[in-house]
Every structure is written in structure tokens, then in C-alpha cells.
Amino acid sequence: MQQTRSEASEMGGGEITAAAAEKEGDGILLFPAHLSDSLHELWFNKCPELVLVDPQTLVPGGGVLQALSSLQRLTIIDTPKFLSPFRFPVTFSIIDTTNSCSFSFSCHLFPSSLQFLRLSRVEGMGTLEPLSNLFSLTSLELDHCEKDLNCQGLRSLLTTGGQLRELRVSGSPKFFADWDPNPKRALEDAEGGEEQHTQLVSSTLQELVTDDIAGLLAAPVCRFLSSSLTKLTLWGDWCEGMERFSKEQEDALQLLSSLQELVFWNFNDLQQLPAGLCNLTSLKILSVKWCPVVSSLPYDGLPDSLGKLDVRGCSKELKQCCRGLAGTILEIQMR
């Protein structure tokens, strides 16, 4: 794939889109030097053979795309081999024969200036550790990057100077599995009980979309997100055969005390909504979309704070239940 110097210059350093290369156009994608401090947005779309250069060619303190120090938005779609030269975690050792010394540094893939990152069908990252330098990142989308992708490294993006506000993860059903964002609390529970707890570190995350229901709805995760998360969308794509939420999942969901909008999407086998939604006292919007066999609202009711109820694509029985709430909920959508 090739991008000519004149083409890049004509774009004024604002945005470059790298499309799929023709078979006869194989080569190296080079960026003019002036783009290092002027390029703000970069797309790679459907570049099946595109890979990053061999990391052994990097210089100390550098990174794969870190020379693009003004880059704010990066999107990589259907470019599965992009990370194939890497095996994470990556550490390079440099030997200076002139001064008879050596040193090493960790590889971060992307410039720390990034505010938005979308990776779709990009393989090989394994965890989020390669993103741990992205303290300016506010929005992260990971779409079918790997079934076994896990969230190790996510905590640094949500605390200690991180600014991540929006996270969307699909196609990775084990993303949150066994994650404990506050491991000190678990240790204190084992050693001395609740009274010994130090102040828990809180999260910056406000909006979350995920299809890892089992991993997310665990007490340590929901407790960590409780003070910040205002919108949660649960996709049921990996919940085949799931007819109801477990008691542990229902209890964990109730820990999300700041939640203002909750969406259940595409749960094909779910028969019952989780109990305890009435305890989400900040909830304003509840959406149950394309959940065809849910036939009723929770037996213990809905929170008084609720102002909108959306049950599009659901059963006639559920819609009939919602009609009975007309006048108590300001807006009900049932189309």
C-alpha cells in the first residue's frame, strides 16, 4: 500500500485514510515528516496485508506510531495482520557498544496524544497492556479483535491519570473474566473484614457497551464502576440458552448506583429481567430491545426515577405490561 507525498500534502495534515491496496501496489506506507506534528486523524480500512514494521528497527524511547505526536483519532478496521510482528508484552534491549552500556524500554503501540481509538478485527493484542500509555484516551472501541482478549491493563486507563469515559467491547466474551480492579480489597476481606478497607480507587468510565455479561456482572467489577458508570448496554450475543440472571449477577448489577440508562439488547432466550432494578434509584431510561421471550417486567417493580421505557422488538405480553404503566412513566416506546 502506498500513499504519495503529494497526496498526503494535499490533505493538509488533517486526515489520511488508507484504503485497501491493489495487488500490484504492495509497498511501504510512509508519512511525510511534517505530518508528525499536524496529523490529527488516521484510518486504516480493509488492508488485509498491512503490518507494522519490524519493531527491531525502532529507536530508544520511540514506538510504532509514536512519531505522530499530534494524532488524536485512530481507526483500524478489517486489518487483521496489523499487529502480527508483535508478541506482547514487548520489551526491546538496546546495546550501546560505544559507551559499553545497555538499556531496555517497553513498546507502546500508539502515541499518547490519542483521544479516540477503534480496533475492529485486529488480532494479536491479547490484553490492553500495549495501550497503557494512552492517558488522554476518552473513547475506546474494540470490535471482534479476539475471543480471548481480556481487560488486563484497563485499570490504568480508568485511574491514575487516565481519562477513559466510553468503552465498547464486542466479540470478546471473556473480556472481564475474573477481573478484580481493586485486589487490595479482596486481600483485606480475607485477612480482617470490612472495617480494614482503605479507600477504594474509583473509575472514570461513564458509558459501557459489552457482550461479556458473566464477566462484568461480578461484585468487584461493578463496585469499581459504581460511582462513575451512567450508561450500560448489555448485548446478549453470547448468552444463548440464558433464561435468567443469577442471584449474584442481580446483586452485582444493583451496585451500579450511578446508572441512569440501562439497555438489554438481543437476549434471544432471556425470559425474565433481573430482579432489583427498583434499587437503581438514579435510573431514568430502561430499554429492552429485541428480547422476544421476556414476557413481564420485574416482579419487584421499577425505580420511581424512571422516565422512559423502551420495549421495541419484544413480546406482546411485555408490551401489555408496559401499557399498564401509562401515566406513571412519561414516555413508553413499544413499536
- What percentage of the chain has pLDDT greater than the value 70? 76
Per-residue CA distances from 188 to 159, 185, 200, 225 (Å)? 21, 5, 12, 20
Residue-wise pLDDT tens digits, 110-128: 899 999 999 999 988 899 9
In the chain the domains, ranked by start, together with CATH numbers, are 44-189+201-333 (3.80.10)
When mean pLDDT is compared across 179-188, 227-236, 267-276, the lowest value belongs to 179-188
Residue-wise pLDDT tens digits, 170-188: 999 999 999 999 876 544 5
- Grid coordinates representing 130 are 500495549
pTM of the model: 0.84
Other Cβ atoms less than 10 A from the Cβ of 326: the count is: 9
Read off the pLDDT band of 160 (50, 70, 90). confident
Residue-wise pLDDT tens digits, 128-148: 998 989 999 999 999 999 899
